[in-house]
């Protein structure tokens, strides 16, 4: 027998993980506890007060919330409740649309028997939006970390925007310089320590003029920072520029 964990102060995401692992007692507790949350979500769709004891829409929302429990993936990044809210609302909308098209089949029992509510497209759409939201959150976090790192080099995102080369070939050349700088242990150490480019030594490694290095200094340093850190989304931006030098 699976025993319910003492999760009073535990984040709901950990509770969901326990339920997914088979804690049925906890599942029932969560469904009971979050009935007001479900009713509110359903009410926002229906634009009226929802009575959990009388309204079929609430039953649909309750089933949707239960579906959300088992389809939620914590590693996607966003919170369970934001994901569950999306699933509940979309399932209720699907239910309402069904009734608008089939006015003679208004029995919730009939819908359940026919498995009309088991719409994989709803869950797929919710999970897709969940993933997009999670990626957006991670991207914003990454940019915030990058901005803080820039400050240690006395640079800002605004400065970087203005300093970025306007033409693709110039950007490509600057990215390749940054990559060469990143691969050279001695030059990299200089940048980490001095927070500036070792222009004289770098001129011996690259086929770029001193004037060009100085003009693109801020952009090269920014790319160096990206290459030297765990910035998955920012690094993705550099893939096309680096494919010919890696």
The domain segmentation of the chain, as residue ranges, is 34-138, 153-242
List all residues 6 or more positions away from 6 whose beta carbon is below 8 Å from its beta carbon.
none
List all residues 6 or more positions away from 42 whose beta carbon is below 8 Å from its beta carbon.
50, 55, 57, 58, 60, 61, 88, 89, 92
Quick check: 170 and 220 in contact, CB under 8 A? no
Return d(Cα 237, Cα 244) in angstroms, integer. 15
List all residues 6 or more positions away from 216 whose beta carbon is below 8 Å from its beta carbon.
163, 165, 170, 173, 174, 177
Quote the pLDDT of residue 114.
36
Residue spans of the chain under pLDDT 70: 1-9, 77, 99-131, 133-134, 240-246
Listed residue (236, 233, 240, 76) closest to 146, CA to CA? 233
pLDDT per position as a tens digit, 17-68: 999 888 888 999 999 999 999 999 999 888 889 888 888 899 999 999 999 9
Tokens of 128: 């897709």
* pTM over 0.75, yes/no: no
């Amino acid at each position: 027998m699976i025993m319910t964990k003492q999760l009073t102060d535990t984040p709901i995401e950990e509770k969901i993980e326990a339920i997914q692992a088979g804690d049925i007692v906890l599942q029932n507790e969560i469904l009971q506890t979050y009935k007001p949350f479900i009713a509110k979500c359903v009410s926002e769709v229906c634009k009226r007060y929802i009575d959990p004891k009388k309204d079929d829409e609430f039953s649909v929302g309750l089933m949707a919330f239960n579906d959300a429990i088992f389809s939620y993936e914590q590693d996607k990044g966003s919170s369970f409740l934001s994901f569950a809210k999306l699933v509940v609302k979309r399932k209720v909308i699907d239910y309402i649309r069904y009734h608008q098209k089939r006015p003679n089949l208004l029995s919730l029992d009939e819908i359940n028997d026919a498995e009309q509510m088991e719409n994989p497209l709803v869950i797929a759409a919710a999970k897709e939006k969940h993933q997009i939201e999670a990626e957006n959150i991670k991207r914003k976090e990454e940019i915030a970390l990058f901005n803080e790192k820039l400050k240690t080099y006395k640079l800002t995102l605004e400065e970087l925007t203005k300093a970025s080369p306007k033409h693709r070939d110039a950007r490509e050349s600057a990215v390749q310089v940054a990559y060469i700088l990143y691969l050279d242990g001695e030059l990299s150490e200089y940048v980490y320590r001095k927070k500036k480019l070792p222009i004289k030594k770098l001129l011996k490694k690259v086929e770029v003029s001193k004037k060009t290095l100085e003009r693109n200094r801020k952009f090269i340093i920014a790319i160096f920072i990206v290459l030297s850190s765990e910035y998955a989304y920012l690094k993705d931006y550099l893939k096309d520029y680096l494919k010919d030098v890696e």
